[in-house]
A and B are shown apart, each in its own frame.
Chain A
Amino acid sequence: MQPIVHFDNVTKTYGAVPAVDKLDLEIEAGKFVTLLGPSGCGKSTTLRMLGGFETPTSGRIILSGKDVTSLPPNRRNVNIVFQDYALFPHMTVGKNIAFGLELKGMASDRIHRRVTELLELVRLEGFSDRMPAQLSGGQRQRVALMRALAPDPDVLLLDEPLSALDAKLRQQMQIELKSIQERTGKTFIFVTHDQEEALTMSDKIVIMNNGRIEQMGDPHTLYRRPESRFVANFIGETNFFPGKVLEIAGDVAVIDADGDRLRARTAARKPGVGDTVDLAVRPEAIVCSAVKPAGDNAIEGELVQEIFKGNHSSLTIRLPQGRIVHALVDPLKSDGFAPGPIWLSFDETHAVALVA
């Protein structure tokens, strides 16, 4: 299937600094795609280039099979939901939503029907005569979303639209956004620096860093199989054990980490024997026990602190050489640990050896 959006080797530089560096990205229609990364990683620039507010320094942007690289924003069939909503303060909610439809030359009664229908979609019936200043943050957010959806764009762009909301409302809106996306079947491209937001809503996450794509994939794959230290660190929490590769057996690498012999899955970029690697293990993949477990992947440490949080316990463990390891354990399966010596172990399929 032809992708609905295609960034073809797109570069954008400000002065000498590339904000987006040779970006190649294809986005399928009907998906909820998130561009995730720290601030300054180029995700917003990417979005603004697609919206038409920035022109790439080089490369092409193809939208629905049409080269739109140098088209102004008003001639592209994409709409943006802005970070601070950018609702027109002097127009009613209805007029705001109708704005794009009026410019399409739609007849008044058809606009009226479409506005009513869209307001129903977000349960804001009867709000069409209110002014934006009379709405709450969440309501403004929904109106902005409907205004952008009204002209029926090929792709809807969302530029960190939830960042102005408080935590509880944000979670609620995440679910609502995802359900609107599913109901309308539109392609959503969502930009955020919040990994939790990305994991909750996305069909596909594109992780960006320094203007480049670090890794992309569905949330599960990204969480379970990070391909770089950056991704492992950016999505979720990860413990790293640096070491040298002793041998490679198929998809498994055997590593010497400060004298411990550890086994882990190799990442897509396979290390060679003798290479320095970081072994990445999620806190919840670590199994703690008071006695030495059988088999490989066992490390002895000292329990420094245990914090009981109801549905899990968070353990802070210090290894002999001073490294700190975090582990999450299920309180239903253990009775807690006494401070002092403790054994850690993990399944080799839950650990990845990342080339440093």
Chain B
Amino acid sequence: MSNKSFLFADAPRTMLTGFYWAFVIYLLGPLLLMFAMSFKDATFIAFPISNWTLDWYAKVVQDQQFLSAFVYSLFIAFATTCFATIIGVWISMLISAEGIWGKALLFALACLPAVVPGMISAISLRIFVSVLDMQTGTAAIIMGHTVHAVPFVVIMVLTRLRTMPANLVDAARDLGADSFIAFCRVTLPFLGPALVGGMIFCALTSIDDFVRTFFLGGYRPTLPMLIFAKVQGGMSPEINAMATLVVIVTAAVGLYAERLTRRSRIS
């Protein structure tokens, strides 16, 4: 395969390369800017940066509100991931099972929460919660996040299952495993890395989610709600430090998840 003969000669190729880097700058620029600002020694946000400091980080790390929101978000993400993984895998097993009628419909319904626009999904969940006579708060948030996360688990698991040799489970059953043990012993380990990648993805979307939390949340703020409140309440440079910390953690975890799913796709 020769890339040279593909589509364009050299001039357009340079153009494409330039375009790519411009796009990278567009994506990374604002974030890098934010990083830089987090070291600025002034109480207001403005350029240029004259003095550098780590004060904002010290402040953030001691900020009870931030820490509490962070822990709360982690807790919700953890619960969401557990529920979404169990239910998502279960639904995938149903969709991939033999002799199940109406698989296309099942798959479409399983993916429904992923195609409903976020705002409308949040409102429908808010209404659902009050129809059930539930309180808004932690349980409602976890439910909302789980509903949103399940389709992604289903899609990831089904994609991975498609590469599984058809008779691995047959072999396990043949050797004396009933269908549940065959699932635990063969299917789950096979899903392994892809599933972990999917779980991290679930956790990150949960930590990131604003609109559902906004409608379903109680008085205790999650991380995005805290940032939202701070941004609306005026620009404190503290937000820069806070956001930088969050970005570094989530990007590292995200990269790890990406590597896991990529590796599982190769093997």
Contact = CB atoms under 8 A, between A and B. Distances in A.
A and B touch in the complex (CB under 8 A): yes
Interface of A: 51-53, 72-74, 78-80, 82-84, 86-91, 99-100, 103-104, 147-148, 151
Contacts of B45: none
Contacts of B175: 74, 79, 99-100, 103, 147-148, 151
A53 B182 CA distance: 14
Contacts of B173: 52-53, 72-74
Interface in B182-224: 185-186, 189-190, 192
Interface of B: 165, 167-168, 170-178, 181, 185-186, 189-190, 192, 267
A88 B176 contact: no
A300 B103 CA distance: 66
Given A84-B167, A99-B175, 14 more contacts: A53-B170, A73-B174, A74-B178, A80-B170, A80-B171, A82-B167, A86-B170, A88-B168, A88-B185, A89-B168, A89-B267, A90-B190, A103-B175, A148-B175
Contacts of A147: 171, 175
A315 B189 CA distance: 59
Chain A interface mostly helix, strand, loop or mixed? loop
Contacts of B190: 89-90
Given A82-B167, A84-B165, A84-B167, A90 B192 contact: yes
A57 B144 CA distance: 46
B177 A103 contact: yes
A147 B175 CA distance: 8
A88 B172 CA distance: 9
A99 B172 contact: yes
A118 to B, nearest CB: 14
A91 B177 CA distance: 15
Which of A73, A82, A100 counts the most chain B CB atoms within 10 A? Answer: A73
A255 B174 CA distance: 53
Contacts of A78: 174
A227 to B, nearest CB: 35
Contacts of A51: 174
Nearest to B192: A90
Contacts of A90: 189-190, 192
B167 A88 contact: no
Contacts of B192: 90
Contacts of A52: 173-174
A82 B171 contact: yes
Contact of B176 (A53, A83, A104): A104
B167 A151 contact: no
A51 B186 CA distance: 19
A45 to B, nearest CB: 14
A51 B171 CA distance: 10
Nearest to B188: A90
20 contacts: A52-B173, A52-B174, A53-B174, A72-B173, A74-B176, A74-B178, A78-B174, A80-B171, A82-B171, A84-B167, A88-B168, A88-B185, A88-B186, A90-B190, A99-B185, A100-B175, A103-B177, A147-B175, A148-B174, A151-B175
